[in-house]
Amino acid sequence: MKTSASKLLRINQWVINTDTGELSADQNPPSTPSENLRIDPLGVALLLLLAQNKHRLVSKDELLESLWPNTVVNEDALARCVSRVRKILGDNPRKPSIIETLPKRGYRLIAQTCRWESIESITSEDTASPVDLANDLATDSATTTNSVNESTAGSPIQPPQSNMIKRYTLVGLLAAAIAIGIFVFFLPLQSASKQSPNQQTEHVSALLRQADEYYHYITRADNEMALTLYQQALAAAPDSVEANAGIANALVQRAIRLVPNVNSADWKAMNLEKALLSGRLNGDEARQILLRAYQYSSNAIAIAPYDAKAHKAHGFVLSAQNKLTRALQHYEKALELNPNAWDVLINMGDVHEILGHTSDAISYFKKALNAMNLEQAGNTNHGRPWRANLGAAIGNKYFAQNNMNEAEIWYRHVLSFAPYDGPATRSLALVLAQTGRSAEAERMCTQFKEKLGSSVCISQQ
């Protein structure tokens, strides 16, 4: 393969192929990527923007607008992107030699060497086939990092072409995937070429929309209906990322709640933490279900390595297999690709809670609720049925910490958009009673009973 010099960017000892994200260091020939080191397209776009403005502060707003055009994201997404690039380049944020943080303002490239390689062309063999790439993703090999040795200053970089930056900020990063030939290599291995959502038949699209809607109701019947519809979609479109990911998610839900003769309330109340603690996921049947789920989520990533839904599904499978650190890695990747993926944020909160990181868990749950508010109501994945439950759950976390003020704030917040939500009403009444406002609690419970004809308050049962 011939690589144009205009696409090889040197930053200190690193040579970055801006088409593929592959890295090579001084100890390697420029054409030989360092093992397992690859910057994703969003990270490459970040480096190009910083390199174009070497030694100049690039504001957070400017970076957000350039990296996520026409998309509402928060600064956490940018921070995660910078963190991933630093980790791969071995750049210590406390003593940076490549990317400097200017608190509350933005970032600046401070590398001593920043230039396009002057060699006219480099001929090299690709070191990893698409099958290798898929296997790397499926086995979740941890990214290795090398320490940074400062190199001598080189000639200043010429401003990269603007279309090169735009290429890495296209929706779904599809163009970047095409640029490195992933789809070309995968064509002989698949029964049919991958269809984009616009290319799928209306029938398949309708199946996926209905399946997503069923899935998010979290009942046994709805989960089985969702699973069946995802399977029908996959039969019609074998390379559908959404169908593969959907099947994986539904299978994990089945495994988590794998209890014979369970009633609907208990089925819905079961969650990942309870399932892991009970050991139910270690049984033969559950393990077989999760193995199938793993195969489907791995397929999704192999088809579309830069698809947020694929990484979310794979993270969910790994979490059910009690591989929590690897699950978090895929959730982080999903959030990098779609910072407003509220379902991923909830799952990250769940994993952090299992790990005992309560403050982090609460933070992710809050971000998930905010992300739900950004989704359009017409989107089947808007999360509307979850908002009240999630808000009340945040209140419950504070209640468990005996932080009655924060708990009350969150219960009242839920009642501001779901005035007669049962769990929030019951919990708020309990807070009021425990903080010397029993009369107010009684009035609220009485009003609830008058409006809905039943009581949710313990004092009235």
For residue 412, is pLDDT > 80? yes
Domains of the chain, with CATH numbers? 2-185 (1.10.10.10), 191-368 (1.25.40.10), 383-461 (1.25.40.10)
Tell me which H or E stretch contains 123: strand 121-123
Res 121: pLDDT: 39
In this prediction, residue 144 carries a pLDDT of 29
Confidence of residue 191 (pLDDT cuts 50, 70, 90): very low
What 191-200 contacts at long range (C-beta under 8 Å, 24+ apart), as own/partner pairs, is 191/238, 191/239, 192/237, 192/238, 192/239, 193/239, 194/239, 194/240, 194/241, 194/303, 194/304, 195/237, 195/239, 195/240, 197/242, 200/237, 200/240
Q: How many C-beta atoms lie closer than 10 Å to residue 228's C-beta?
A: 15
pLDDT the model gives residue 376: 55
Please state, in angstroms and as integers, the Cα–Cα distance from residue 90 to each residue in 13, 42, 131, following that order: 11, 18, 27
Average pLDDT, the chain: 78
Tell whether the model's pLDDT for residue 162 goes beyond 80.
Answer: no
Residue 456 pLDDT > 50: yes
Indicate the pLDDT class of residue 415, thresholds 50, 70 and 90. Answer: very high
User: What percent of the chain clears pLDDT 90, i.e. is strictly above it?
Assistant: 46
pLDDT of residue 170 exceeding 50, the answer is no
The pLDDT of residue 55 is: 86
pLDDT of residue 265: 67
The predicted-structure confidence for 86-119, as pLDDT tens digits, reads as follows 998 999 988 999 999 999 899 999 999 888 875 4
Query: What pLDDT score was predicted for residue 5?
Result: 43
How much is the pLDDT for 416? Answer: 94
pLDDT, average across residues 129-141: 37
**Interval 257-286: pLDDT, tens:** 876 556 666 766 788 999 999 888 999 999
- Between residues 153 and 449, which one has the greater pLDDT? 449
Q: Is 90 exceeded by the pLDDT of residue 361?
A: yes
pLDDT score of 386 = 81
3-state secondary structure of 160: coil
pLDDT at 150 over 50: no
Give residue 324's pLDDT: 96
Whether the pLDDT of residue 172 is over 60: the answer is no
pLDDT at 104: 87
Nearest residue to 160 (alpha-carbon basis) of 56, 19, 55, 52: 52
* d(C-alpha 86, C-alpha 273), whole Å: 32
pLDDT in tens, 371-390: 988 865 555 555 677 889 99
- Return the higher-pLDDT residue of 145 and 207: 207
Q: What is the Rg, in whole angstroms, of the alpha carbon atoms belonging to the chain?
A: 25
Please, which pLDDT band fits residue 76 given cuts at 50, 70 and 90?
A: confident
Among 10-14, 142-146, 230-234, 314-318, the range scoring the smallest mean pLDDT is 142-146
Alpha-helix residue ranges (DSSP H) falling in 140-219: 162-167, 174-179, 182-186, 202-215
Say if residue 180's pLDDT is above 70.
Answer: no
Looking at mean pLDDT, say which of 301-305, 411-415, 453-457 comes out highest: 411-415
pLDDT of residue 382: 59
Residue 185: pLDDT over 70: no
Does residue 9 have a pLDDT over 70?
yes
Q: What is the pLDDT of residue 73?
A: 67
- Which pairs from 279-285 meet CB under 8 Å and 24+ separation? 280/256, 281/255, 281/256, 281/320, 281/321, 281/322, 283/258, 285/258
**Interval 303-326: pLDDT, tens:** 999 999 999 999 999 999 999 999
- Residue-wise burial string across 28-48, b where 16 or more C-beta atoms lie within 10 A, e elsewhere: eebbbbbeebbbbbbbbbbbb
Given a cut of 90, is residue 77 above it in pLDDT? no
- What pLDDT band is residue 44 in, cutting at 50, 70 and 90? confident
